[in-house]
């Protein structure tokens, strides 16, 4: 594919340069190479996205989705200009574009939807590559909607009803309680996943399930959205040796903990304060969570 498709080739070269930069952070040549190939990837990606579906074909669909996933990896990584200090995280930033880095991650949903006609073949091809041998289907596809095993404090704060969502429920809906419900159930699955490298992309699928409305909540630092995203980051901290996201998840998890602590949510009156006290403890302990 790399030999015949410039999008795949440039994406692999950009990912390789990013990897080498992380191994040798003071080597300017790798930084230049990464930026150069990323610029080519963006150009190739725009061309692929503008190609009519019938002209894209099965091979084009495979190349498009694989390249999008790889590009998501290197855009998730902290750049050479970013600090690992939690206070420098987007969580504390006042810039209007502070969560733009997340737009590419969540845009994967739209790409998947646009490739519906090819998706079965594409998933069969990419599943074993990103999810490990023998895993030919994406997780979270047919999730159970009940709240079994979800802490009561989470159910209370996110105002979840202990009944199944309707068949026609849209995960991209702006009904925040429905949106939170899907994310909470995903987290309950992720925290049971064994933290080995082959499971990395199983847990990263959480990002592709985040609708634009959730990203907007993060931008406005909604405390529930921050807690939920921070808990996912904490769970991802359990993967110790993944070069392209380790620094990001550790820094941003710490930043969200700091931000929410300064809100003193546990001091809210009545049971709400008690629930937040439990949830803040859960958030802080997420990097050490072990499935029973």
Residue owning tokens 């191994």 = 23
Share of the chain above pLDDT 90, in %: 52
The model's pLDDT over 66-96, given as tens digits with 9 standing for 90+, comes to 999 999 888 888 888 889 999 999 999 999 9
Paired tokens of 139: 């997780």
pLDDT reported for residue 173: 45
Do 39 and 74 fall within a single domain?
yes
**Residue 242 forms part of a structural domain:** yes
Average confidence score pLDDT of the chain = 86
Least confident piece of the model among 40-44, 90-94, 134-138, 274-278: 134-138
Please tell me the total count of domains within the chain.
2
* DSSP one-letter string for 78-140: PPTT--S-GGGSTTT---TTTTTHHHHHHTHHHHHHHTGGGHHHHHHHHHHHHH-TT--S-TT
CA distance 195 to 288: 11
265 close to 280: Cβ distance less than 8 angstroms: yes
**Residue 96 forms part of a structural domain:** no
**Residue 264 forms part of a structural domain:** yes
Supply the pTM of this predicted model: 0.87
Instruction: List the domain range (segments joined by +) for residue 13.
Output: 6-90+106-131
**Residue 183 forms part of a structural domain:** yes
Do 15 and 79 fall within a single domain?
yes
Q: Which residue has the higher pLDDT, 39 or 108?
A: 39
The model's pLDDT over 172-220, given as tens digits with 9 standing for 90+, comes to 444 566 778 888 988 988 998 888 888 888 898 888 777 888 989 999 9
pLDDT reported for residue 134: 55
pLDDT reported for residue 165: 46
Least confident piece of the model among 122-136, 230-244, 274-288: 122-136
């Amino acid at each position: 594919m790399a030999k015949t498709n410039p999008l795949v080739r440039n994406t692999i070269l950009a990912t390789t340069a990013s990897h080498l930069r992380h191994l040798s952070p003071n080597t300017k040549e790798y930084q230049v190479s990464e930026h150069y190939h990323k610029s080519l990837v963006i150009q190739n990606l725009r061309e692929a996205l503008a190609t009519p579906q019938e002209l894209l074909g099965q091979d084009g669909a495979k190349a498009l989705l694989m390249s999008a996933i790889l590009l998501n990896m290197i855009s998730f990584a902290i750049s050479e200009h970013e600090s690992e200090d939690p206070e420098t995280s987007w969580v504390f930033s006042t810039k209007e574009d502070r969560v733009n880095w997340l737009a590419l991650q969540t845009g994967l949903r739209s790409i998947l939807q646009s490739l519906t006609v090819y998706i079965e073949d594409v998933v069969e091809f990419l599943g074993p590559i990103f999810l490990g041998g023998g895993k030919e289907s994406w997780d979270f596809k047919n999730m159970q909607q009940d709240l079994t095993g979800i802490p009561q404090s989470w159910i209370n704060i996110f105002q979840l009803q202990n009944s199944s969502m309707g068949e026609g429920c849209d995960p991209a809906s702006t009904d925040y309680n429905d949106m939170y419900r899907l994310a909470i159930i995903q987290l309950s699955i992720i925290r049971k996943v064994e933290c080995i490298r082959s499971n990395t992309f199983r847990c990263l699928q959480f990002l592709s399930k985040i609708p634009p409305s959730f990203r907007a909540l993060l931008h406005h630092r909604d405390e529930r959205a921050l807690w939920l995203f921070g808990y996912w980051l904490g769970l991802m901290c359990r993967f110790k040796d993944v070069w392209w996201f380790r620094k990001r998840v550790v820094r941003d998890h710490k930043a969200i903990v700091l931000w929410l602590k300064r809100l003193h949510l546990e001091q809210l009156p009545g049971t709400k304060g008690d629930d937040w006290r439990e949830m803040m403890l859960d958030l802080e302990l997420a990097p050490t969570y072990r499935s029973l």
